[in-house]
Amino acid sequence: MSRSPSLPERPHLDLDPDMSDAERLSALRQHVERMIEVNRELDQRLQSADDRHAELVEEVEQMKARNEALKTASYYIATVEELTDDGVIIKQHGNNQEVLTEFAPTIDRDAIEPGDRVAINDSFAVQTILDDETDARAQAMEVVESPTVTYDDIGGIDEQVREVREAVEQPLENPEMFEKVGIDPPSGVLLYGPPGTGKTMLAKAVANETNASFIKMAGSELVQKFIGEGARLVRDLFKLAAEREPVVIFIDEIDAVASKRTDSKTSGDAEVQRTMMQLLSEMDGFDDRGEIRIIAATNRFDMLDEAILRPGRFDRLIEVPKPAVEGRRRILDIHTRDMNVADDVDLDALAEELDDYSGADIASLTTEAGMFAIRDERTEVTEADFEAAHEKLANVEESGTGPISGFTDYQY
């Protein structure tokens, strides 16, 4: 804190008894003048202290207002359309309602431009300007320039790998073949099956193999996390893809935005519908798809709205099931290839035992086995470690959380 300068010295009146009256009068006059001077100086000081006080009071008021704004439970998202003398016109996301409203006192009006995204409270007053860091587009999409997953990393689903390659890789690498034969390549590929079976890996591996970028968007996040912005984000997704060709778009949990229509008329459903309609229109308007391929995945095939399965949309359906015993053996190989596994470990027998395990479950099992070795301060993973891991994961299953990846009895 800065120290205030010291106060002016109090004038001292020194009257000598030997002074004449005239001298005395002059000394008194000088003294009065100095007193007036000091008084003026003190007045000035008081004035600036008052000014500072007023400034601080205003700062406190602003902080209080900010605090109130922060305490308000939740905000809605809107886009600024126009700044007028009467206030600001915003359009609320989700219901597209246009509102003429005001800024909270904490907002610097000059810092706002039409097109900015803002957070508004229940009374529509603009509370915060959303900057790039809170930009939903960046948060909602995972963009991987060049994924590193290869087909060799995926076990037990060779037939599915072949089908995906045919539907996605061929049109990207050999578009003229389709032209010569006179058929349109499949529009979108839908991978369906239980969680943790390698659907995401498969999409990443295709992107890797074709030197394409990979853009992932999760359907559940579109409707749960970015409420009111689903349709806009879908539009952005395709725009971003067009900027980055060649690209593989991967829409995970597509059931969240493309489930069968329900009778309920809640706004949540309307929002989901709007997001799905946007997705369909993007796919339909995508005749000359160039070097963009679309793969979607779901664990809930039974929930899907048939509209998304029509020709020209997701018209290549590929089931990705849990692996059979040979597949499990191959996945065990993949996940133990960098592990220091003891000679006593019988991976064939283990593969037999892991009935109903998904690829993700097998990956967890191998990690768990490694953890048992580390806990024992060993660098070699033994048969006993695998058994202990198997038992531990079986207990997780029994305790009701489902087999490790949480998959119980979905209809897919």
Complex with ligand ATP: residue 147 or 359, whichever CB lies closer: 359
Quick one: 204 or 313, whose CB is closer to ligand ATP? 204
Q: At closest approach, how far in Å is the CB of 72 from ligand ATP? A: 35
- The H-assigned helical ranges of 18-122 are 21-71
Cβ at position 330, least distance to ligand ATP in Å:
7
Helix/strand number for the chain, H first, E second: 13, 11
User: Any contact of residue 185 with ligand ATP (CB under 6 A)?
Assistant: no
Q: Which residues pair with 87 in a beta bridge?
A: 84
Among 237, 360, 373, 393, binds ligand ATP (CB under 6 A): 360
> Contact between 368 and ligand ATP (CB under 6 A)?
no
How many Cα atoms sit within 13 Å of 206 on the Cβ side? 32
Binding test (CB under 6 A) with ligand ATP, winner from 106, 128, 200, 336: 200
359 in Cβ contact with 390 (< 8 Å): no
Task: Give the footprint of ligand ATP on residues 137-156 (CB under 6 A).
Answer: 154-156
The smaller minimum CB distance to ligand ATP, of residues 234 and 251, is found at: 251
Measured from the CB atom, the residue of 155 and 185 that comes closer to ligand ATP is 155
Cα torsion 166, 172, 174, 176 to 10°: value is 120
| Residue 322 assigned ligand-binding role | no
Stretch that binds ligand ATP, among 47-55, 193-201, 234-242, 309-317 (CB under 6 A): 193-201
CA distances from 188 to 169, 261, 287, 312, 400 (A): 12, 21, 12, 7, 36
Residue 196 annotated in ligand binding: yes
Q: Is the peptide bond before 246 cis (omega within 30 degrees of 0)?
A: yes
| Helix intervals (H) in 174-289 | 175-181, 199-209, 219-224, 230-243, 267-284
Is 148 annotated as ligand-binding?
A: no
Output the smallest distance, CB 132 to ligand ATP, in A.
28
Specify the residue for token string 């915003």: 90
User: Cα–Cα distance between 359 and 321 in angstroms, integer?
Assistant: 10
Residues that bind ligand ATP (CB under 6 A): 154-157, 195-201, 252, 297, 299, 331, 334, 359-360, 363
Which residues belong to the annotated binding site for ATP?
A: 196-201, 335
Which residues belong to the annotated binding site?
A: 196-201, 335
